[in-house]
Amino acid sequence: MVYLDNNATTPLDPQVIQKMTWFVQEHFGNPSSLYPIGRRVKELMTEAREQVASALGAHRSEIIFTGSGTEADNFAILGVLDAVPDKKEFITSAIEHPAVLETARYLERKGYTVHYVPVDQYGVIDLEFLRSVISEATALVSIMMANNEIGTIQPIEEVVKIARRYGVLVHTDAVQSFGKMEINVEKLGVDLLTVSSHKIYGPKGVGALYIRKGTPIRPFVHGGHQEFGLRAGTENTVGIIGFGEAARILKERWKKDKERLEKLAEKLKSGIEQRITGIKFNGHPEKRIKTTLNFAFPGLEAEAILLALATKEIYVSTGSACSEESEEASHVLLAIGLKPEIARSAIRMSLGRFNTEEDVEIVLKELPEIVARLREISPFHPEM
Ligand SMILES: Cc1ncc(COP(=O)(O)O)c(C=O)c1O
């Protein structure tokens, strides 16, 4: 199998499996219980919180575990807006993940004014637009650090500078940047930041929200006192322990992984460009998570390419995993100016820790053959 869909999810790291297995075998206590078997679980959770915090340059008291990256995004936006009820405007970008975009639509239905910052042909946000719509009435700006479909990296530090002039809080969805570029919440200056465990070789169903000390935010799930009273419910202890271990490993090896994987991705990218004509690369040439490769194959349907690759046990995606089942063209590709029919011809390949040179060689052999075969039977003429 050649797994090239690491932006959708990543396989568990064997060390994470080991830690989680040990944990479920040895520890069933409720972290809220005061006797030793509960206390021990609480200690292990604190260690995991420390591990996630440390990978982000944060303090562990600023990390709230959630049930997913999606929940952390919802919590950041709705929790802050709830805490600043006088401010009725929210700013985000046109190319956010649905976790943010659908929350923005919900806010519109609730009567909020939402401004969607447009992006250029590479997917970089228009800072002039941001400057023109931000005001003291803005409660929060939420702009993703790197895009999940095309990898484009946003100028978050600039966003923070602009927001500060108006005393506006900033959230960033760093789900796709965690482990792929440096993230330090102090350097970035953001108030809230989302990460997700299953994109860093940890288990699914656990995420975290970094909340800078002093940030106004209301509880998201009401009930017990868990997660500093902000997210009630008995914790997903095994998920949290796994996430902590994944973050610990990430901190140790992400730079080395990045170096190796970027070389591998570049080899794949240039190999595809040399072997297949009439294709379009989507994303910023430089300011991009380099392990994300998004190509449009005008004249073909992305799904046909995906399925043909799957018969060879090569797994890629069309757009993002979240829009996979919809017939609609990717909102990200439309926002960077692609025509719907071109957007529907795009596939995303995303590399991760377990990819090898051999994987790249296999794709470089199979993909050109598949594209040539599909082009022969395609009723459309390739045109951009
Ligand atoms: C940018 C971005 N934000 C949020 C999410 C959602 O994370 P989760 O799957 O943990 O809900 C994803 C997952 O694809 C993502 O890519």
Whether residue 196 has its Cβ less than 6 Å from ligand 1: yes
Q: Can 322 be counted among the known catalytic residues?
A: yes
Whether residue 207 has its Cβ less than 6 Å from ligand 1: yes
Delimit the domains of the chain by residue range. Answer: 2-8+254-377, 14-249
CA 115 to centroid of ligand 1, rounded, Å? 22
Whether residue 197 has its Cβ less than 6 Å from ligand 1: no
Q: Which atom of ligand 1 is nearest to the CA of 144?
A: 1
Q: What is the third-level CATH fold of 2-8+254-377?
A: Aspartate Aminotransferase, domain 1 (3.90.1150)
Taking the whole predicted model, whether its pTM rises above 0.85 is answered as yes
Structure tokens at 104: 């923005």
pLDDT of residue 328: 82
CA 100 to centroid of ligand 1, rounded, Å? 10
Strands in 192-196's sheet, in edge-to-edge order, are: 63-66, 207-211, 192-196, 169-173, 138-142, 89-93, 113-117
pLDDT, averaged in runs of 10, over the chain (384 residues): 98 98 97 98 98 98 98 98 97 98 98 98 98 98 98 98 98 98 97 98 98 97 96 98 98 97 98 98 97 97 97 89 63 97 97 98 98 90 50
Measured distance CA(1)–CA(302) in Å, rounded: 20
Pairing mode of beta strands 280-282, 292-296: antiparallel
Whether residue 68 has its Cβ less than 6 Å from ligand 1: yes
CA 197 to centroid of ligand 1, rounded, Å? 10
Burial 246-259 (b: 16+ CB within 10 A, else e): bbbbbeeebeebbe
Q: Which class in CATH covers the domain with range 14-249?
A: alpha beta
- Residue 348's SS3 state is strand
Q: Which atom of ligand 1 is nearest to the CA of 196?
A: 10
Whether residue 52 has its Cβ less than 6 Å from ligand 1: no
Pairing mode of beta strands 346-350, 280-282: unpaired
In one-letter notation, the amino acid at residue 363 is V
Catalytic residue among 162, 322, 362, 374: 322
pLDDT of residue 378: 83
Nearest CA to ligand 1 atom 7: 69
Measured distance CA(208)–CA(144) in Å, rounded: 15
E strands, the chain, in order: 2-3, 63-66, 89-93, 113-117, 138-142, 169-173, 192-196, 207-211, 280-282, 292-296, 314-315, 346-350
pLDDT of residue 326: 53
Whether residue 69 has its Cβ less than 6 Å from ligand 1: yes
Q: Which atom of ligand 1 is nearest to the CA of 197?
A: 10
